[in-house]
């Protein structure tokens, strides 16, 4: 998927609740729940209960980071 398409799709979801799943080593996953907060040229941020977390668009493109909107 093209990074511009990913940016456009994410930009339309600012302020919505999102669940982010990050693939880790040895089939471990980290799950973050929060609101889509800010967008920058190479990364986007969500605000969780524990603070701000940032993720890159390229990780979404390579499916290292999976997103789900509520």
- The whole-model pTM stands at 0.84
Q: Starting from the edge strand earliest in sequence, which strands make up the sheet with 51-56, in order?
A: 51-56, 43-48, 29-39, 17-23, 65-69
- Average pLDDT across the chain, whole number: 89
Tokens (6 digits) for 37: 């907060």
Confidence of residue 1 (pLDDT cuts 50, 70, 90): low
Q: How wide is the angle at C-alpha 69 spanned by C-alphas 37 and 51, nearest 5°? A: 35
Question: For 4-32, how does the pLDDT look when each residue is reduced to its tens digit (9 = 90+)?
Answer: 999 999 999 899 999 989 988 888 899 99
């Amino acid at each position: 998927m093209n990074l511009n398409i990913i940016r456009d799709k994410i930009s339309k979801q600012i302020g919505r609740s999102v669940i982010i799943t990050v693939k880790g080593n040895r089939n471990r996953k980290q799950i973050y729940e929060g609101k889509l907060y800010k967008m920058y040229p190479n990364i986007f941020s969500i605000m969780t209960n524990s603070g701000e977390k940032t993720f890159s668009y390229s990780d979404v493109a390579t499916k290292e980071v999976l997103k789900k909107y509520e």
